[in-house]
Chain A
Amino acid sequence: MTLPTLLVITFASILPLVLVFVFAFSEIRLVDIPRIGTEPIEWSLANFERAFGNPTFWNALGTTLLYATLTMIGSVGCGLVLALCLRRPFPGRGVVRALLLVPYVLPIIAAVTIWQTMLNPQYGIVNAIGREFLGWSAPVAFLNTTTVEAWGIPIPLSLLVVVVFEIWSSAPLSFLFITARLQSVPAELEEAAALDGASRWQTLTQIVLPQLRGVILLLCLLRFIWTFQSFNEVYLLTEGAGGTQVMALKVYTELITRADIGSAAAYGLLMSAVLTVLLAAYVIIGRRKEAM
C-alpha cells in the first residue's frame, strides 16, 4: 500500500537529493545533459571554491538572511497582534476573520500584478498619492531602487518592498495558526489571574504568551525556511533588480542564464546547509524546553 507513495518520494526527493550532491561536486553544464549517465563523473570542489570566492554569493546570502529575518518577524508579529485583537467574540468576527485571509488565498501572480500596478511610477496609486498629497517631487521607482536616503540613513527600498509584500501575503497564515492555538488556552487560568489582581498586561505576558511560545517558535521556523528559499515573489516583483538578488534567484541565474548545473546545485546545497543549522538549533531549543 505504501509502494506508490514510496515510489513518488523516491523519484521526487531521494533521487534528486542524491543527484544534487553529485552535480554540486562535479563540473557539469546544461549542454552536458544528453551525456549524463554515459560518462564517468569528474569530482571537483571547483563549484564551491568559485561560490566562496564570488562577492555576489556573499551579497546574496546576506540579502537572503536579512529578507527572511525581517519577513519572519513581521509576519509572525502581525499574525500575533491580529490573533489577540480578534480573540474575544464580537458581531461579525467570522466575516472579519475570513476577509483577513484574502491576501493569503490570492494567487501570487494576481497579488504581484496588483502590487506592481499600485507601485507603478506612472499610474500607480502610491506615487499618485505621494505626489498629490505628500509633496514628492518625483515618482519613486519602488521595484528597482537599491537604496534611498531617508533622514541620512540608507534604506534598501526594493528589498523592503519585497519584505512588506511577503509579510502582507503570509501574516494571515500566522494569524490562523496562533488563533487555533489560542482557542485551547483555558479561560479559567486568566479569570483566576484577574481575580488575583493581575493586570491585563501581566495576564498577557505571564499566562497567554507562554502558552503560545511553542506555536510562535514553530511559525518563526517555518516562515524563515519558506522565505529563505522563496523565488516566485521576488522574481515576479523585481526580477532581482534593486538589490533583491536572493539565493533562490542565484540558483535560477546559475542554472538558466549561466547554464551551469554544477554551480546551481552548489548554491542550492549551501542554502540547505544554512537551513540545516537552523533546524538543528530549533530541535535543540525544543529538547531543552522539554527537559525543563
Chain B
Amino acid sequence: MSSRSSLRSPLPLRVLRGVIIAAALVASLGPVLYGVLLTLRPASSVIREPLRLIPGPDEIDLSAYATAMLNESAGGFGLGRFVLNSLVVALCTVVLSILVSVLGAYAAARLRYAGRGVVNAIILAVYLFPGIVLSVPLFVLLARVGLTGSLAGLFLVYVASTVPVALYMMRNYFIALPISIEEAATVDGASLPRMLWNIILPVAIPGVVSTAIYTFMIAWNEYFYALLFLVQRREQWTAPLGIAQLSDFDVPVTVLLAGSITVTVPVIILFSVVQRFLIDGLTSGAEK
C-alpha cells in the first residue's frame, strides 16, 4: 500500500497532465469537428460568418455532400466516381499484396534456404528506401509499356510499393508466433501448403487483417502516383487526386470538405473495427 501511494502523483503534476491531455484532444479532434461542422452549412454562410461554428437550426444543409458526389451531368462534381475508382484500386491492391506478402513473409520468417539473409536484408532496405526515388524509374517503365493513364498501372505501382511494408509487418508477426504448433503439424505429416492454410493462417489472422488494413490505407491515401499517371484522365481520377484537383477550380469550400469527410468514412469504420489488431501490428517491431 505504501509503495502504491508513493507512486501517486502530487496534485500540480496531475493538473499538468490533465491540461496536456485536454490540449492534445482539442488539437487532434478540433480540426476534424471544424471540417464536419462547416459541411452542414451553406457555403455562403461559412464565408459570411467564419467564426460561427454551430449551424443555425434553420440553415442545416446537407446539399454539399450530394453536390460533391453526383456526376457532372447531374450538376455535381463527380466525386462519387472518384471514390469508386479508389475503392477498386485499393481493394485489388490489398488482395494481391497480402497474397504475395503472406507467402514471402512466412518464407522469410521460417524456412531455411540459400540466400535467406540477403533476401531479408533486401526487404528491409526496400522498406526504408525513399519511394520518391523509385518513382522516377517506375514512371518511365510504365510509360514505356503504355500503362500510365490507367488504373491498372496505378494498381501495379501500389502493389509494388505496399509489398515491402506488408512483408515487413507479416514477417514480424510470423516470427512472434510460437513455432511449436507448426512442429506438431509437421510431425502429423501435414504438407507445407496445407499447414500454411489450415494451421498458420487461422492463428495469423490478426496479423493478416492489420496488414491488410494498413495496405488499404496506403492505397486509399496515395496521391503522388495518381498525380503522375492520371492527371490528364479525369474519368480515372482517384478520390485524393479528384479532391486536390477540384480545389484548384472554383468549387465551394463546403463541397471540398464534404468530399474529404466522405473519403474518411471507410477508414474510420475499418479502423474502429480492428483498432487493436492494427496497433499490435504496427508496434510489434518496437518491442525489442
Contact = CB atoms under 8 A, between A and B. Distances in A.
Nearest to B106: A1
Nearest to A192: B3
27 contacts: A2-B104, A2-B107, A2-B119, A5-B103, A6-B104, A8-B100, A9-B126, A9-B163, A16-B134, A16-B138, A19-B141, A82-B24, A96-B21, A102-B29, A105-B267, A107-B217, A108-B221, A108-B223, A109-B239, A109-B240, A113-B243, A114-B35, A123-B47, A123-B50, A235-B227, A255-B139, A272-B130
Main secondary structure of the interface of B (DSSP, over half): helix
A163 interface: no
B126 to A, nearest CB: 4
Interface of B: 3, 6-7, 9, 13, 17, 20-21, 24-25, 27-29, 31-32, 34-35, 38, 46-47, 50-51, 53, 99-101, 103-104, 106-108, 111, 113, 119, 122-123, 126, 128-141, 143-144, 159-161, 163-164, 167, 192, 217, 220-221, 223-224, 227-228, 239-240, 243-244, 247, 253, 256-257, 259-261, 263-264, 267-268, 271-272, 275, 279, 282-283, 286-288
A1 B103 contact: yes
A119 B224 CA distance: 23
B126 A184 contact: no
Interface in A10-30: 11-17, 19-20, 23
A33 to B, nearest CB: 5
Contact of A120 (B144, B221, B253, B271): B253
Interface in A233-292: 235-236, 248, 251-252, 255-256, 261, 264-265, 268-269, 271-272, 275, 279
Given A99-B28, A113-B260, A115-B31, A236 B244 contact: yes
A225 interface: yes
Given A215-B286, A225-B128, A19 B137 contact: yes
Contact of B164 (A6, A13, A23, A256): A13
B42 to A, nearest CB: 12
